[in-house]
A and B are shown apart, each in its own frame.
Chain A
Amino acid sequence: MFGYYLDLALHSLGRNKILTALMVLAIAVGIGASMTTLTVVHLLSGDPLPGRSQAIFYPQVDADPKNKDSSEPLDMLDYRSALDLWSAKRADRQVMLVQSTVRLNTDDAGKPAVMMPMLSATADFFSMFNVPFRYGGPWSEQDDAARARVVVITDDLNQKLFAGENSVGRVLRLRSSDVRIVGVLKPWRPSPQFYAIRGGRFAAGDTSDFYAKPEDVITPFFTGLDVNDGNFQQFTCWQMPAHPGHLQDSPCVWVALWVQINDATHVAAYRRFVADYAAQQQAIGRFTHSGNTRMRSLMGWLDFNGVLPSNVRLQAWLAVAFLAICLVNMVGLLLAKFLRRSGEIGLRRALGASRAAVFAQYMVESGLIGLIGGVCGWLLTMAGLWFIRQQPVAYADLARLDVPMFLLTFVAAIGASLLAGALPAVRACRVVPAWQLKSL
């Protein structure tokens, strides 16, 4: 029967091409807009470290003398606190990291020096965050301690500087220091750039910069401090730093600390360790208060910072509301289309077709419109994502359709059109045959 209904549906769609086109257009535009924005929401709100994120935590203590126990601690750590917590090695893995902008000089005399964002982190960074390597590998803890002049670069930079060859052992010049490449990453694009997130509560929803690419140059933490001394930016200070850009021993917070605690039962112990550390610092007079320590999980920290940009959410709501208009529109057009054929329905009913059969026939027709609308909607979604990739936002390059969203496009299109078709189909199967036959 399905084949016959499909045949009928195709025939009927061909009969009034303009109306069919309008319906397909309505469903396609609605699906296209919704799927474009929902794909962006989906890509931006995922877990950046699936399977690992629940073991990653962001400890915070508060060195700001102007804060109280009731205030939210500052978003980053001062150098002393970060160093103390990191060197205690109480977690399974711990990473101190800081970002800065560094001048990268290339060997070729012709090329000018470029300013590059640089990440300086301790050795656990790569293992803790599952960072994949193409060539070479991470540096060791000894390299951290020895302030070894080594560096890991991203695939992007390796393509740019060495045309994608194995560049391990080659030398880069960061400002006035030579650093040896020990590792080259595979393409790595966490979404968001979770390890660098902070200050979301001050961003008033404009958080698209949280989706920036990882830094192209990654050095050991202390090496970075040496190499790029004088070029570090504070998150904030409670007093003017004596030497701008050189922030060790400054009244500023500027270092992030991440820890990995694999065993959930140890989390409370680490939390206590952080609180005890703050209490001890208060006892020796370095802190004025110690009651507002925090240790949020990775996802908790992302939530706290409201990572999903508010205009992305707003667009998603707009698109869904727009889809609702398109659906109501389609209900109307389908109703018009089906009831125009009341005579035909009356004839079928008079010849013995049951109401269920008429209903099924019109649902097949609605579903077919949904399928065609889905294909067009998918094309429009691709176009919409292309448009987003042209936008000047940090997450632009992420906007691509993945398999689940691709499937959802068709499920949504067919589901929406079946939903829209239900009422018209019910009306169609309630047509009274005798009246229609009389007027033929």
Chain B
Amino acid sequence: MSLRIMLKILQRHALMPALVLLQVALACAILCNVLFLVWQRVQPMVAPSGLAEDELVLVDQIASHVRPWTAAEAREGQLALSHLPGVRSASSALGLPMIGQVTVDYALKSPAGVSVGVNGYFGDGLVKTLGLELVEGRDFLPGEYGDIGVSQSSSGVPTAKSAQSIIITQSLERQLFKGESAVGKLLAVPDDPSDPGYRVVGVVRHLLRNQVDLATDGRADDTILAALRVGDTAILSYAVRIDPVMREVALRGIHDTIKREFGPLMGGESFLRIGTYAERRNEALKSARAALWLLAGVTIAVIVVTAIGIMGLTGFWVQRRTRQIGIQRALGARRSQVLRYFLLENLLIAGFGVLLGMALAFVANGLLMHFYELPRLPWNYLPIGGAIVLVLGQLAVLGPAMRAADVPPVVATRAI
């Protein structure tokens, strides 16, 4: 049957198709936005961390209530930890993956003028301790490190005379240097031409930032390592890389060492945390996971309700036209043709619905952006949401359409 006739039939009984169309449009609009929200929360969970995850233990919130820790104490702690049985290396660090309480922000500007805001991690020998994979350049040299601490300057970041050495990720290299090698190149500080900036000495494959909420839309690896050692500081933290076979021994050793080295000044009232990477990750992603369950619930509910609606309406639509179907069958239409007719009709209605829904999704996203500081819905969510709804429509209409195909030709001979 030609498309024109199909449209004409729909036009004549416009109410039913209009309701299906409206439902499809609403479902499409909601699904596009919900899928986008889901993806925003899933991204940090699936982003590769670049770390030796099984071997990492994080120690943080070592706080003294008497005075700031000195650089010497920080280093002694590092030395004591790295000589423990079962420990491969340890670094006194500022900024650690999956620990969002302490974050360091950097702004980098490439020679070509691209600016990126990144998270920075400081610490002695972090490449080795975190188990990062260097793909280009080299690790920091021992002489390259500067000290960072309370007494260095009021804002915390020392103003060096020469460019500070940094290690960036491959993703940053791509963003800042567009495919060229970054090693040896300089990065500037935006809006501060007097600052000597940073020199890239190495590139690692991945390194997940610790502002996990921002690890979306290709920003997960916007992280750098700076050649800075932790000097005097109010709160100490350590990254410790252990031998996974000796986990228990190493963890006990770390506990005892921290107690021994820092216990007297911590006074037993600090918020000291010693946990494996897996534990800290689990914690950092807790709220994102809860939100994800909720969104999953919404998605399923929308799909189920829409499917029920389409099924109910089309079922009735078929029932009303039983006689017409009978006549068609009597005049020689095959079952498959009747089936195809109803599937095609639904595709047509749902297609218009999806078009309307995409426009609605776009408007809804505009409102959400305005009120909730959400990013703009990327256009590729629209066809994805649309496709889901179209498939859903076809599945929902399958039952009623098969019932229509089963209408025997003899119906045509009954009272008209």
Instruction: Please list the residues of chain A having a beta carbon within 8 angstroms of any beta carbon in chain B.
Output: 19, 22, 25-26, 29-30, 33, 101, 103, 113, 115, 175, 204-205, 230-231, 239-240, 243-245, 310-311, 313-315, 317-319, 321-322, 324-326, 328-329, 331-333, 335-336, 339-340, 391-393, 427, 439
Contact = CB atoms under 8 A, between A and B. Distances in A.
A314 B30 contact: no
Contact of B306 (A19, A243, A329): A329
Say whether chain A's binding surface is mostly helix, strand, loop, or mixed: helix
A321 B26 contact: yes
Nearest to A21: B308
7 contacts: A25-B308, A30-B305, A322-B302, A325-B27, A328-B23, A335-B16, A336-B313
B372 A240 contact: no
B269 A326 contact: no
B96 interface: no
B26 A325 contact: yes
Nearest to B29: A321
Contacts of B15: 335, 427
A244 B298 contact: no
A29 B313 contact: no
Contacts of A25: 308
B111 interface: no
Contacts of B67: 243-244
A333 B301 contact: no
B263 interface: no
Contacts of B64: 244
B215 to A, nearest CB: 14
B316 A339 contact: yes
Given A314-B368, A325-B27, A325-B30, A230 B301 contact: no
Given A231-B65, A439-B415, A391 B290 contact: yes
B287 interface: yes
A326 B305 contact: yes
Contacts of B34: 318
Contacts of A26: 305, 308-309
B302 A204 contact: no
Contact of A313 (B294, B316, B371): B371
Nearest to B374: A314
A392 B234 CA distance: 29
B196 interface: no
Contacts of A336: 312-313, 315-316
Given A19-B312, A391-B290, A439-B415, A318 B298 contact: yes
B334 interface: no
Interface in B140-198: 150, 154
Contacts of A392: 286-287, 290
Interface of B: 15-16, 19-20, 22-23, 26-27, 29-30, 34, 37, 63-68, 150, 154, 213, 234, 268-269, 271, 286-287, 290-291, 294, 298, 301-302, 305-306, 308-309, 312-313, 315-316, 319-320, 364, 368, 371-373, 415
A294 B303 CA distance: 50
A289 B83 CA distance: 54
B26 A333 contact: no
A321 B357 CA distance: 13
**What are the 8 closest A-B residue pairs judged by CB atoms, nearest first?**
A336-B316, A329-B309, A230-B65, A332-B19, A332-B313, A333-B312, A325-B26, A328-B23
Contacts of B234: 244
Say whether chain B's binding surface is mostly helix, strand, loop, or mixed: helix
A333 B309 contact: yes
Given A325-B27, A427-B15, A245 B372 contact: no
A113 B30 CA distance: 50
A324 B26 contact: yes
A230 B26 CA distance: 57
Given A29-B305, A322-B30, 16 more contacts: A22-B308, A205-B373, A231-B65, A244-B64, A310-B372, A314-B368, A318-B34, A322-B301, A322-B302, A333-B308, A335-B15, A335-B16, A335-B19, A336-B315, A340-B316, A392-B286
Contact of A103 (B269, B305, B309): B269
A245 B235 CA distance: 12
A325 B22 CA distance: 9
A328 B154 contact: no
A124 to B, nearest CB: 29
A331 B19 contact: yes
Q: Which of B64, B68, B312 has the most CB of A within 10 A?
A: B312
Contacts of A101: 269
A96 B37 CA distance: 42
Given A325-B306, A336-B313, A318 B373 contact: no
A426 to B, nearest CB: 11
A331 to B, nearest CB: 6
A333 to B, nearest CB: 5
A332 B302 contact: no
A342 to B, nearest CB: 9
A240 B150 contact: yes
Q: Which of A30, A113, A205, A329 has the most CB of B within 10 A?
A: A329
A409 B59 CA distance: 49
A322 B298 contact: yes
A336 B316 CA distance: 6
Nearest to A244: B234
B23 A231 contact: no
Contact of B373 (A103, A204, A329): A204
Contacts of B368: 314, 317
A324 B306 CA distance: 11
